[in-house]
Amino acid sequence: MKRFVWVTIALLPFIAEWIYKFAIDPRPFWIHYYDPETSYFYEGLRMLSGLSPFNVDNPGTTVQLASAAISLFTGRSPLTYPQFLPVAHVLGLLVTIAGALMLARTLLRNAPPALTIVTLWTWFMAPQVLEYQLIWTAEVFFFGLGAFALAAIVASLRDETSGLRAAGGGQDLLAGMTIGVLIATKFVFLAWLPALVVAYFVARERPVRRSIIAALGTLAGFVTVTAVAIPRYPAMLRWLTGLAANTGTYGGGPRELPRAGDVLANYWRAMSTSKAWMLWLAIVIVCAILAFKRAPRMRPVIVFGAAAGALTLLMAMRAPAFRYLFPVALCAMLLMAVAADELRKVRWLPSALLVVAALLFGKAIARDVSDHRNRLHSQRELHDQVAEVLRRIAPGSVVVYSFRFPAPSLALRINATTDAQLAEIAQRYPREGHYGWKRQVILPPGATRWDVLVIDEALLPEFPSPVGRTVARVHEFRIVLSP
């Protein structure tokens, strides 16, 4: 029972900040993160209509399924999205709490209080993790699903580490299945299967047989979760191939091998903006090396954590954004957990690690709260300034907005998948259209032309039709009249 108390204490700072951003100073549904959030919402509605999801880039099927389940209660109209989103955010919080409780029963079952707290904070202090804990996207499930996966993987590599037990390869199958569920959430977890295979060979106990069982489990877990998206498997394969072989954003550029200079520069930029996290990773690595030397039985687990982290970094080499590197934080958490038995032997070390972790976690919370406030302030200011210009120069006109302008109508329209949905949105916003993903202008029903265009300057050169004069510039957006 005491271990759950310490897990609760570890979660309190995170939950307090989450409540602040959720209830005290909440982000309106139309500010900044409406993509990807509305994408998952609309894919959930597609599933409720009996269709396969269209967007399978992540593939994000677990979040899409959860969206469908929530929409059964909150409604299937695009106008119910403001009611859908808070429920989704609460579900994301509950999944995270469930993951922490799972770790308390398994990896952290025998860890001392200080190291229990330090291990959990290892996840939350990673760059942008706190931010994504309140965004309805694949990353919000990483900690919860990842905790179950790590428990199963450790049980597979060392029976007595976990309460999850099976016989005749059952643990290996379960470990593979949990990885399959993670891959169905985000493809970046593909790195975990080869890492598990490497760990089996380090364990030297029927590695080939166990690897085959785990691979079959991974396939079973992935197919089970993504069964609704089976017709989209070719699109998934094309997406992965493009990411691996092509340059540019999301593999949209020409086919070309990664350039070593570009890769190193990308990693250096990521490291230079996350010095505190780099410091903590260095501490985790030192702790893992200590455990590797002194605890031979835990070596396969440590090898898995190190290999999974390294392969994740390798997969993200073309675009090492922090959200693609979140699995590295899970691996760091695993390494800290398995090193706990050795670290506790140095009496002062757990307390020292707790102090350092508290300072870094506090810094992460302060930065996230500051970013949250600044984002809300700047986006509201942008919205209000543009609205004032529109009221002055073109009252009652048809206005078209481009991504990522903070407008309620655009937030609802940008990822809508049917004309019926757009028609419903137009009932509330009858004179507002949008400039869509495929460089198309989608007007509200009944309109034959637009009067004013509010567009990001970076998108203006590719706009598909002539435009008139610019009447105002507000931050990075231009307000342009029709020709």
- Note the pLDDT of residue 475: 94
49, pLDDT greater than 60: yes
Note whether 440 and 313 are same-domain residues: no
Strands 470-474 and 477-481: antiparallel
Inside any domain, residue 383: no
Q: Give me the pLDDT at residue 3, please.
A: 80
Question: Using 50, 70 and 90 to split pLDDT, how confident is the model at 163?
Answer: very low
Q: Is residue 473 part of a domain?
A: yes
Residues 297 and 233 in one domain: yes
343 with 404, same domain?
Answer: no
Residues 425 and 317 in one domain: no
Type and span of the H or E element at 139: none
Shared-domain flag, residues 358 and 404: no
Answer yes or no: do 359 and 407 share one domain. no
User: CA 50 to CA 392: how far, in whole Å?
Assistant: 46
Residue 279: count of CB within 10 angstroms of its CB:
12
Cβ-contact 455, 476 below 8 angstroms: no
Mean pLDDT is highest, among 302-311, 339-348, 390-399, for 302-311
Give the length of the chain.
483
In a domain, 26, yes or no: yes
Q: Are 382 and 475 in contact (CB under 8 A)?
A: yes
As given in the structure block, the two tokens for residue 289 are 């090396």
Q: Helix (H, G, I), strand (E, B), or coil: what is residue 467?
A: coil
Same domain, 288 and 428: no
328 HSE (CA, 13 A, CB side):
25
Encoded tokens for 120 = 């959990």
What pLDDT score does 54 carry? 93
Cα separation, 429 vs 417, in Å, equals: 17
Reference 120, options 337, 346, 368; nearest CA is: 337
Q: Which of 364, 380, 409 is the last residue of a domain?
A: 364
Which residues does 46 contact at the CB level (< 8 Å), separation at least 6? 52, 53, 54, 417
Rg of the chain over all Cα atoms, to the nearest angstrom: 24
Looking at 364, 383, 407, the residue that finishes a domain is: 364
In a domain, 385, yes or no: no
pLDDT category at 263 given cuts 50, 70, 90 is confident
pLDDT higher than 70, residue 164: no
Q: What is the DSSP letter of 184?
A: H
Q: What total number of domains does the chain contain?
A: 2
- Asked if residue 105 belongs to a domain, the reply is yes
Are 339 and 448 in a shared domain?
no
In angstroms, the CA 85 to CA 70 distance is 9
Same domain membership, residue 449 and residue 345: no
Pairing of strands 452-456, 399-402: parallel
Q: Which two tokens stand for residue 450?
A: 């637009």
Q: How confident is the model at residue 265 (pLDDT cuts 50, 70, 90)?
A: confident
**Which class for 105: exposed (0-12), middle (13-18), buried (19 or more C-beta within 10 A)?**
middle
pLDDT for res 161: 39
**Residues 359, 413 within the same domain:** no
E-only strand ranges, 13-88: none
| Residue 384 forms part of a structural domain | no
- Note whether 399 and 452 are within 8 A (CB): yes
Structural domain for 66, as ranges = 2-364
The pLDDT score that the predictor gives to residue 242 is 83
Whether residue 369 lies inside any domain: the answer is: no
The whole-chain average pLDDT of the chain stands at 93
pLDDT digit string, tens, across residues 74-132: 999 999 999 999 999 999 999 999 999 999 999 999 999 999 999 999 999 999 999 99
Give the confidence band of 236 by pLDDT, cuts at 50, 70, 90. very high
Q: How high is the pLDDT of residue 139?
A: 97
Question: Do 287 and 147 have their domain in common?
Answer: yes
Residues 54-63 pLDDT 10s: 999 899 999 9
Q: Do both 295 and 427 map to the same domain?
A: no
Task: Report the number of secondary-structure helices (H) and strands (E) in the chain.
Answer: 19, 6
Does residue 379 lie in a domain region?
no
Angle at 191 between CA 186 and CA 197, to 5 degrees: 135
